[in-house]
Chains A and B, each alone.
Chain A
């Protein structure tokens, strides 16, 4: 694959990556959210594979494969399990309405681009110039976690943050050491597990997973 084609494909993958994050912000059905997350995981894998191919590194390819299995396979499966046990299917009444959320996402993307300017300036390749996308996805994930009420939305927000961080790591360095990626993934798996348990307990105690029911964490 020529250099030109691979950089075009990379840009496409990054653009779609950002769009899936916006989609997560837009859709309210939990099953749709999980599908979008799977798609995002696949896109991240694509980015990693493209970078591995560019650098001709077998280790990076192995990492990409691992990421693909984890983010596009295992994590969505766990989410679907949670969703099956806890049958509320829609995010109701977000704290910030959808149109405002989309506008906020646009603002956060701009902020991501502005803040990552020094990284872009120091970048040597096309992948380096795409780093702001990862930062924007991190900010959008944070926003999602802060403004949605269901516990499962918090999980998805955290997952977005992790995907964004992974994207920044790949794009800025052109490949992440295996050890680092393994560590981050283990962390992520643990986080998802904890949040899954939390959701179960919330549902068992309150009959719903509305996080506003939890008000005990104060002085």
Chain B
């Protein structure tokens, strides 16, 4: 049997077993059973993905499953790549759920939550292998509904969860409508619903139709990916969802938005004119900058990580935009390099974001709070978690020897070597893109130093942080697996090169932009190369040598107190808070961030000159949300309120509405 088919069957079958098991099992064993089954299902997905990426194709048609159109599955190298990502994240999440959702069977361990979790992972695994428009739409919506239910898991505990659920539901459905219109229009114009049919017929469509379809699909997929300005659901949903769901959403689901853009833009529509890809690149640049800016000033750990996801998606979209522009100019080698960077970055981001959200989940579980200003001092009670989170943060900050460094280096190389045939637009855009990446990376370093430094190091700033205990072994194992993935991707990224070559060939971006060498990446046609393994070994060796030498050759060491200006002892109140750490950056970007400040002075009852209390409140709003979404939401609410008059309560009026509607439809049918 075809290994891909076997793998996918195992994935969906095990997921269904897990879902059914969650209904039947008593709450004590539920998390364990579902976690194990989900993890095995994820591994099967990875196996299927690897099989797909090695070039074995697979197509299947299941006519009875969906009414009217049936299910069509089509796995090629691009599907395989994203299937590997989804499967790997599912495996880690499955292991993590054993510990995270265990316990009293409420919240993440509740029956509903654990039943829907495998449905979500199975739907995500099916999206990359969907081979026709109805299949894609059906599994996409299934994925959206399942994730919505999971986001609302803790709605009884916090009111913010309900608001997050409403925003998420509205935006995901709006994106789905855009996707629906776009894909159905495409199917109607080409006369076929299967991707194979669309691919062969799309070349003959007029440019206006393909342009409109691309924009609609871009809107739908980019909103799922969390690109600014379609991002307001992302910080809310990812922050309020339980952490294992945040891992799945941030590491796997947003990648499926990227998959969608690649599938529709490059594969189905065959490339398209240059302005499409400039739009994508502009969207990417905006997301990268805005995302990391908001992450840098975020005081909530999970909101920080969510905006960091937005930033990384921005970098990915920037790379995709450049791929498209370079491919359109005929420079397939440079385009291939940019796409290599994009694909590597999707995997790297999935790896380190999984790790970071897992760490955040451990922190929330141990301390009960997500606010960095109340955390701190977790390195002593939770050393393993801190080490893993530091690994993830190193990767997210794109510093060597982390894995984020490799893919961002490749991305910069793609912008710096656009090759021959670079015209004006590219000559202007490439340095701008380099500047965007550089600024983003710099602010990302600040962000993650803040996250790890204020969140984990120094002393606990509150009682809840002081009471933290280390996470159970299953959660640590999950984090360890993700960390091992990050390390492997950091030191030997070249292992992915053959797979990358096949994916590029599938997207008609042939050639091997990155030469195959086990220990390093050497870019074809340039003198640029990087050897991450040597880099990592070198850093560790040099640091170790310096430390040992300093200790042995230096003078006798004396222990002294931390300098406290003479009036100790130092308390946790004197530490940098996350807000204060980010404050210089916030002041530099004051025009962009526009913080809202509120000072409330309560005077003494006896004398207006004496102050009894002062309350200072600062909040950094999401300006794009306020400028763009508030007016729309207010207008819709106003229209809805005025439309209430239609429902007056009279039965006759309702019957009259029905009659009028029927008559109108009949008349319309007659006239046409």
Q: Which residues of A contact B (CB under 8 A)?
A: 95, 108, 111-112, 114-115, 117, 139, 142-143, 145-147, 149, 211-212, 214-219
Contact = CB atoms under 8 A, between A and B. Distances in A.
Contact of A142 (B647, B650, B658, B669): B658
A142 B649 contact: no
Interface stretch (B160-168, B451-459, B601-609, B659-667): B659-667
Contacts of A115: 666, 669-670
B647 A219 contact: yes
B670 A146 contact: no
B648 interface: yes
A111 B669 CA distance: 10
A100 B662 CA distance: 20
Contact of B655 (A108, A145, A215): A145
Given A114-B666, A115-B669, 18 more contacts: A111-B666, A111-B670, A115-B666, A142-B658, A142-B662, A145-B655, A146-B655, A146-B658, A146-B659, A149-B652, A211-B652, A212-B650, A212-B652, A215-B649, A216-B649, A217-B649, A218-B648, A219-B644
Contacts of B663: 108, 111, 139
B665 to A, nearest CB: 9
A75 B65 CA distance: 43
A70 to B, nearest CB: 25
A111 B652 contact: no
A108 B670 CA distance: 13
A115 B670 CA distance: 5
A146 B649 contact: no
Interface in B627-652: 644, 647-652
A214 B663 CA distance: 26
A211 B659 contact: no
10 contacts: A111-B667, A139-B659, A139-B662, A142-B659, A143-B659, A212-B650, A215-B648, A215-B649, A216-B649, A218-B649
Contacts of B188: none
Main secondary structure of the interface of B (DSSP, over half): helix
Contacts of B658: 142, 146
B656 interface: yes
Contacts of A215: 648-650
Contacts of B656: 146-147
A217 B655 CA distance: 13
Nearest to B660: A146
Interface of B: 644, 647-652, 654-656, 658-659, 662-663, 666-667, 669-670
Contact of B647 (A149, A212, A218): A218
Nearest to A212: B650
Given A111-B670, A139-B663, A142-B662, A217 B651 contact: yes
Contacts of A212: 650-652
A99 to B, nearest CB: 19
Contacts of A95: 652
A108 B666 CA distance: 10
A146 B666 contact: no
Contacts of A112: 666
A139 B665 CA distance: 13
A146 to B, nearest CB: 4
Nearest to B671: A114
A217 B653 CA distance: 11
Contacts of A114: 666, 670
Nearest to A145: B655
A-B residue pairs, 3 tightest by C-beta: A218-B649, A215-B649, A146-B655
A77 B395 CA distance: 81
Contacts of B652: 95, 146-147, 149, 211-212
A216 B650 CA distance: 8
A78 to B, nearest CB: 21
Nearest to A95: B652
Contacts of B655: 142, 145-146
Contacts of A146: 652, 655-656, 658-659
A211 B649 CA distance: 11
A73 B627 CA distance: 68
Contacts of B670: 111, 114-115, 117
A191 to B, nearest CB: 14
A145 B658 CA distance: 11
B182 to A, nearest CB: 32
A214 B651 CA distance: 7
Nearest to A115: B666
A147 B656 CA distance: 8
Contacts of A143: 659
B632 to A, nearest CB: 22
Contacts of B650: 212, 215
Contacts of A216: 649
B357 to A, nearest CB: 41
Nearest to A147: B652
A211 B651 CA distance: 7
Nearest to A107: B663
Contacts of A139: 659, 662-663
Nearest to A218: B649
A114 B665 CA distance: 12
A71 B654 CA distance: 27
B672 to A, nearest CB: 11
A143 B663 CA distance: 10
A203 B662 CA distance: 31
B607 to A, nearest CB: 53
Contacts of A219: 644, 647
A186 B149 CA distance: 38
Nearest to A216: B649
A95 B655 CA distance: 13
Nearest to B654: A217
A115 B665 CA distance: 10
Nearest to A217: B649
B661 to A, nearest CB: 10
Contacts of B644: 219
A203 to B, nearest CB: 16
Contacts of A108: 663
Contacts of B651: 211-212, 214, 217
A40 to B, nearest CB: 20
A38 B666 CA distance: 29
A219 B644 CA distance: 7
A195 to B, nearest CB: 12
A95 B659 CA distance: 15
Contacts of A111: 663, 666-667, 670
